[in-house]
A and B are shown apart, each in its own frame.
Chain A
């Protein structure tokens, strides 16, 4: 795949559905319809133009088929790839391949979930490993907690450094009117919150919200006629090494090392070239490990790196500028929202939270228990 797909696909529209708590009578498909409608309005296409459909869902076994029926879309290219929360970043890579091959002309990536209105019950199709289930780890928080514990042991990462990730996410969220949690968050609140699975308190864990998203991808020739400045996919890569936590080779290194390398290679860029990072933060340990695995700092230095003021507003390495899964929204799976924010940052339309001069943005999705890793890199027309 290498450099072959660089600049061959571009995102021409992104949109969220209503977020937060939408109420008891809306479905996941309703939210996908709402998000797609808004995305189509943004770029001036209609649903008749959509001939490639991509979705993943904990609600619908045939994830791309359910919204297609609802929307009245009859795709000639369809993809229900399910990798957990990273699925949508994977869909982007798969869409770029399909577009490049002419298998479709306009791809829509869709997601919706009413997890919060469903009483916070984690709607999950996760299969349990019989060799893990009897020990009753709380899925998935205990698995991430065990990663954090090992990271603390090997590298001296501190409880406060983990908390700093949540605090900086909240600082970003305070700049995002759409963020779910915008009250100031202090170190004392994070450390003093209810313990869920040691070392995590409830403030180390992502939100439970409703929400949906839509991303529309096409080829540059088609994008030129549309209303919005296209944002180009410069690089993308995916990798997975395990499904279950007891099968993860070493708990402190993820397959993001490979997905990142593949994305950077395709883009012809290096980690310091990235202006803004959207890193799937289901738990506070996640951005720490992804910054290491994506090459922003050395292995083991993610803790000090995140607590030295680098990742928050005004930092030299802005991370999760929308407030992330920790403070903006996390409806079961968050991956599509990393793309939405990366694209908006490159367009320069993020208002108070806009990173000055952001030309290149990275969106990284993670799924399962650090299992599936997908990295994507975006830039404006001047970067192609």
Chain B
């Protein structure tokens, strides 16, 4: 969006990146502040000189919960502090819920496309993580 002509709609940029198996985050070209979710302005300094960068997809579980529901097996929901300095909500697969604890290293496993996503959850693409392979 630095050219000032066609702005890149932030949610569309995020979804397009997910479609390619990537999570993007925002970096400010003026103050360097890193943010997620993508926006048209930097939430730190207000600059519109922001760019969206692909993440390497690795991070650490910042907090977690396991939702117990009557209609499905318990599932975990986590906030992950990504190595680039932003935080996202996701879920960790390929590990028992009890093993998904704060401090666990995780990496992006895959992205489920919209058509696979639970309709109740808003029909949005969904990234999922797995324990980091050493």
**A194 lies within 8 A of B68 (CB):** yes
Q: How many residues belonging to A are interface residues under a CB distance threshold of 8 Å? A: 27
- B66 CB–A CB distance under 8 Å: yes
A302 to B63, CA, bound (A): 19
* Known pairs A142-B77, A245-B89; A133 contacts B121 (CB<8 A): yes
Give the chain B neighbours of A132 by CB distance below 8 A. 89
Q: How many residues belonging to B are interface residues under a CB distance threshold of 8 Å? A: 30
From B11, B88, B102, B122, A149 is in contact (CB under 8 Å) with B102
- B19 CB–A CB distance under 8 Å: no
**A150 lies within 8 A of B88 (CB):** no
Closest-by-CB residue of B relative to A201 is: B68
- A246 CB–B CB distance under 8 Å: yes
Closest-by-CB residue of A relative to B90 is: A135
**B89 lies within 8 A of A130 (CB):** no
A150 to B120, CA, bound (A): 28
Closest-by-CB residue of A relative to B98 is: A198
From A136, A145, A195, B121 is in contact (CB under 8 Å) with A136
**A146 lies within 8 A of B37 (CB):** no
- A251 CB–B CB distance under 8 Å: yes
Minimum C-beta distance from B26 to chain A (A): 12
Give the chain B neighbours of A129 by CB distance below 8 A. 37
* Known pairs A135-B91, A136-B75, A194-B68; A149 contacts B124 (CB<8 A): no
**B67 lies within 8 A of A131 (CB):** no
A130 to B117, CA, bound (A): 13
Give the chain B neighbours of A146 by CB distance below 8 A. 63-65, 77, 79
- B125 CB–A CB distance under 8 Å: yes
Give the chain B neighbours of A150 by CB distance below 8 A. 62-63, 102
A residues within 8 Å of B by Cβ? 128-138, 142, 145-147, 149-150, 153, 194-199, 245-246, 251
List 13 A-B pairs, Cβ < 8 Å: A131-B37, A136-B121, A137-B65, A137-B89, A142-B67, A145-B65, A146-B77, A149-B64, A149-B65, A153-B102, A196-B68, A198-B68, A245-B89
